[in-house]
Amino acid sequence: MERPDWVPDGIDVTRPSAARMYDYYLGGSHNFEADREAAAKAIEMWPDLPKIMQANRAFMRRAVRHAVELGVTQFLDIGSGIPTFGNVHEVARAADPQSRVVYVDRDPIAVAHSQALLEGDTRTGVIEADLRDGAALLEHPGVTGVLDLERPVALLLVAVLHFVQDADEPWDAVAKLRERLAPGSLLILSHATPEGRADMAGPHQDLYRRTGNPMSMRSRGEVTRFFEGFEMLDPGLVYMAEWRPDPGCRLEDPTRFSGFAGVGRKP
């Protein structure tokens, strides 16, 4: 397999990556043969997967626009993945040109792509970090140099927490991030669930265990726990397509999308 010049040293391009598979589902071009093969197997198993990823992306866009409507124009996107059309900074700046965004990922390829795309943009930052070490993440100069953490920030954890295993205490990680955020900050979150499509949950999780990013789908109650310390905004924790759908949008069976979404505000 030919190795592109921009791929950081030490990256095994023969092993699938969840971030690059997600890029493939969205129609992006920042993926490798191993990612495409794994994604194709996943789609063969679960044909709705591209629609699920698109619904997740659409929720993110609606939530970002809503944050700006609420006066929050700073965004910290953890687990941001590889930049594709309609990313957070594009959506936020369409609503408020002064919006500031920091992208965070632990995948060096996702970080390298983002840095190349956003080079010279002083209102956007990109760092390599892990949400499980929230204290170091929030103290990183790539965050503090772009965002004012004394003012409200929208924390995006979109389709990332299901890649954090229970043993790594994801609820504690979110709580530590929440404690550092200013009052009025928002938590924008989506998370895979077996509810509605339990028949597909097991095989799908088995496939991701063979990548470097094993997945843990969680129940409504488990996902709700991430919002402890936040006040849920209407309509609460719902299937992704049900969260403030665009006017005139025709809703398909929301359980097909196998993911919950919600937004909470820190008092």
Strands (E), 79-229: 100-105, 124-128, 154-158, 186-192
Average pLDDT over residues 41-46: 77
Dump pLDDT digits (tens) for 52-68.
888 899 999 999 999 99
What are the sequence ranges of the domains in the chain? 18-265
Question: Which backbone phi and psi does 158 adopt, to 5 degrees?
Answer: -100, 115
Determine which of 34-48, 82-96, 116-130, 218-232 has the lowest per-residue pLDDT on average: 34-48
CATH number, domain 18-265, options 3.40.50.300, 3.30.2400.10, 3.40.50.150, 3.30.360.10: 3.40.50.150
User: Please, are residues 129 and 150 in contact by the beta-carbon 8 Å criterion?
Assistant: no
Question: Which backbone phi and psi does 112 adopt, to 5 degrees?
Answer: -60, -45
The conformation of residue 265, written as its DSSP 8-state character, comes to: E
Determine which of 40-49, 58-67, 81-90 has the lowest per-residue pLDDT on average: 40-49
CA 60, 65, 71, 77 torsion-angle sign: positive
Dump pLDDT digits (tens) for 19-28.
778 788 777 7
User: Please, are residues 156 and 194 in contact by the beta-carbon 8 Å criterion?
Assistant: no
Give the predicted TM-score (pTM) of the model: 0.86
pLDDT at 177: 97
More confident residue, 46 or 239: 239
Measured from the Cβ of residue 216, the count of other Cβ atoms closer than 10 Å reads 18
The set of residues, in sequence order, having a beta carbon less than 8 Å from that of 13 and lying 6+ positions away, is 1, 3, 7, 32, 34
Average pLDDT over residues 222-246: 96
Strands 74-78 and 100-105: parallel
Dump pLDDT digits (tens) for 166-210.
999 999 999 999 999 999 999 999 999 988 665 555 555 555 565
